Amino acid sequence: MIETVGIIGAGNMGTAIVRGLVAGQVLAPEDVTAVDIDGTRLEELAADPGINTTTSLKTLARAGDAIILAVKPQSMEELLRQLAFHVTPGHLVISIAAGISTGFLEQRLPSETRVVRVMPNTPVMVRAGAAALCRGSRATDEDMEFAMRLFSALGTAVIVEEEQMDAVTALSGSGPAYFFYLAEKLRQAAVENGLPEKEADELVRQTLHGAGRLLRDTGAAPEELRARVTSKGGTTAAAVEVFEAADLSDIISRAVAAAVARSKELGL
């Protein structure tokens, strides 16, 4: 039974995961141990009462039944080389590194190591994330249930096949950036049409927040919600006609396809 968690990497995502799990009471602070090569980041995390920090992978492995790898993909090879000396058959290793396959992890860790791969996104920082999980060849149903419990506490979590992870990366992994880009351009357009920047910014934030809540909470299809706002001959219809004339649908399809292709290129 997994009761304690170690996390390697106390950057933005790693810290957000730790704090989210503790705030959501999924884990008690004393059941979490974090390691990072950056002492400043560890000091910031150690300021949260009860959370353990260390600079030793050996100490972390002894303290955690599950180990979350929250490091950049380019650091993974060296980390796994060091971690392999401390992982035991009893450990579950959960990786959130983009593009790093379960096979890559399994080949570099002891032969009985159980692995789960997760693609979360940055809104885990406010416990509103979207994460997709896939299992390694030796992960058990109990391992998947545990990982789902962790990441469901940080927003929404789904299970997918590993070959679908590139599409997940392009959708929910990169998706927040598409949303922020839309917010940026909406604010710019509002200012160009006479609104002061402060008011434009406030209205953009609340409009997108409210629309997102409506989409999530009602369960209605996005095309249905769009139709409700789009009166024939009205202002929304005029804007949608511009989108359609520019073939926005094709632009979005090509953008996501480009992100999928890049994810595959970067994958290991």
**What pairs with residue 32 in β-bridges?**
5
92 and 181: one domain?
Answer: no
Q: Is 131 helix (H, G, I), strand (E, B) or coil?
A: strand
Number of domains in the chain: 2
pLDDT at 42: 86
pLDDT of residue 176: 96
Residues 12 and 71 in one domain: yes
Q: What is the pLDDT of residues 232-267, one digit of tens each?
A: 999 999 999 999 999 999 999 999 999 999 998 888
Question: Which of 4, 2, 60 lies closest to 34, judged by CA?
Answer: 60
Amino acid at site 209: H
Cβ neighbourhood burial of 133 (10 Å; 0-12, 13-18, 19+): buried
Is 66 within 8 Å of 259 (Cβ atoms)? no
203/145 same-domain check: no
Banded pLDDT at 228 (limits 50, 70, 90): very high
Q: Cβ(151)–Cβ(5) under 8 Å?
A: no
Contact by Cβ (8 Å): 93, 168: no
pTM: 0.89
Ramachandran quadrant class, 9 (left: phi over 0; alpha: psi -120 to 50; beta: rest): left
| Judgement on whether residues 144 and 225 belong to the same structural domain of the protein | no
What's the rounded mean pLDDT across residues 53-82? 92
Within this chain, do residues 245 and 150 fall inside the same structural domain, yes or no?
Answer: no
pLDDT at 3: 86
State which residues form the domain around 239.
173-266
Given 165, 198, 224, the domain boundary residue is 165
193: pLDDT confidence band, cut at 50, 70 and 90? very high
Query: Could you tell me which of 53, 26, 16, 8 has the C-alpha nearest to residue 147?
Result: 26
**For residue 2, what pLDDT band results from cuts at 50, 70 and 90?**
confident
- CA triple 143-146-148, angle to 5 deg: 110
d(CA 98, CA 30): 28
